[in-house]
Structure 1
Amino acid sequence: MIIDAVRNNAEWCEAMCRAHGHPGTFGPRAWTNDRRTPLYYPDAVTLTEDADVKDVLTGIDRSTPGASVKDSFGRLDLAAEGFRLLFEAQWIARPAGLPVPAATGDWRPVRTPEELTAWALAWSDGDEEAELFRPELLADEATTIVVGHGPDGRILGGAVLSDSGAVTGVSNLFTTGDTDPAQVWAGCLTLADATRPVVGYEAGDDLAPALAAGFEETGPLRVWLDA
């Protein structure tokens, strides 16, 4: 299951980079991008347990600080290469066929650039980081951006669902105001294909709500930052 989750996540990173006009490259053991990737997105992702330092570093731009590597299996030590450990997280997976928790609110895909702008502003809490999510993502058949609205029309939260065939990935899940994260997990799961496992990763306080929604921890990952 981790292999499917890793590939799914790398494909979502690729989709985001394509939306910004600079796609990466899938190699046998790593996905890399030779141009600096969008904010919060890695410059390299290991795809197999036997990926090594060379697999991730030879394909990325280190001419300026800030490149990052998603060590999908928590096996690399990049400290000797000048990187520092940015954070650790857990891959999670929800088996296919589990009942979906009851969702409150109106949950649906984002369809228009205007809806995407509203979603991104809610995701970023009004920050300029909202510009990360470009309209090109709406044309990506593998990507579904999910938004939930309350009875008053207020955005409750949202997430991104990524279809990679074997699994559906969930990322960028957020809540607004006092929305219970359980509402958002339930709402997003109503739009995921129930016949496939749903995968992703979470860390810290964000992990518990995912586990409560039926996900299980499947393995560790690390993200390294070139200082």
Structure 2
Amino acid sequence: MITDPQSTTGPAHAAVRNNADWCDAVCRSHGVPGAVEGGVWASPRRTPPLYPDAVTLSPDATSEAVVARIDLTSPGASVKDSFGSLDLVADGFEVLFEAQWVHRAATDPGRGPAGWRAVEDHERLSAWEAAWSGDGAEGGPLFRPALLDDGTVFLADAAHGNITAGAVAHLAAGVVGVSNLFTADDDLDAAWRSCLEATDRLWPGVPVVGYEHGETLAAAVRQGFEPVGPLRVWLRTDG
């Protein structure tokens, strides 16, 4: 688990630290090291697909501090600008997307029947990833079995055997971070409700955070989340 001596309190900072810890866990499962320095988590090696080479942990982090610690010699460098405060255009980056950090206060666990359940073995993790990605990952799995032993829970709706919906839930920084939410029937409200029932059951009394945009953000807000701050993801296509 990463620590940041410059971190402050508040729901947005908790969401940022939780997400950075999740990114660090995914990278470590691939044998890619990362470290915190100057309010930035970064890896000097290219990280796995869809995961950033750097994550800012403080709004005071500078563009210079970010780009100095990542590989700019090959295409595909990416930066999670956690407070939407960087300008990386001069360094050859362009904005890939913008989103909002979201926070839902702790609630009492529901008393209804259990719905989504945790994936417990390597075979089911492979099935979860295939359901999430649509057709499996190119070049091997993105989510390695080591993540099951690293404080991460892969939630799945598998009432009829096949996985039809799910999400990742990662406990760090005193909150549960939810990411990679998906559902085969496009009913995002139902997916969020089931996901939150599961997180409340597994971690009663713990707030839930994440980041979303578009329709997934709108559904999250309808299910009790509050936007607590902007973020921006930058991508550099040239080496």
**Normalising TM by the smaller chain, what interval?**
over 0.9
Amino acid corresponding to residue 166 of structure 1 in structure 2: G
Alignment of 1:23-102 (within 5 A): 23-97=33-107
1:175 aligns with 2:162: no
Aligned-pair identity in percent equals 51
Conserved in 2, the CA contact under 8 Å of 1:33 and 1:44? Answer: yes
Give the match's secondary structure for 1:191. helix
1:4 maps to what in 2?
14
Give the match's secondary structure for 2:141. helix
1:159 maps to what in 2?
167
Aligned residues: 223
1:189 maps to what in 2?
196
1:123 aligns with 2:132: yes
Gaps of 5+ in 2: 1-10
Structure 2 CA distance, aligned partners of 1:216 and 1:100? 20
Gaps of 5+ in 1: none
Conserved in 2, the CA contact under 8 Å of 1:89 and 1:221? Answer: yes
Structure 1 CA distance, aligned partners of 2:27 and 2:215? 28
Amino acid corresponding to residue 115 of structure 1 in structure 2: R
2:5 maps to what in 1?
none
Amino acid corresponding to residue 30 of structure 2 in structure 1: H
Alignment of 1:201-220 (within 5 A): 201-220=211-230
Deviates more, 1:185-194 or 1:152-161: 185-194
Conserved in 2, the CA contact under 8 Å of 1:102 and 1:186? Answer: no
Give the match's secondary structure for 1:10. helix
TM-score norm. by structure 1 comes to: 0.92
Q: Which runs of 4+ in 1 moved over 2 A?
A: 98-103, 127-130
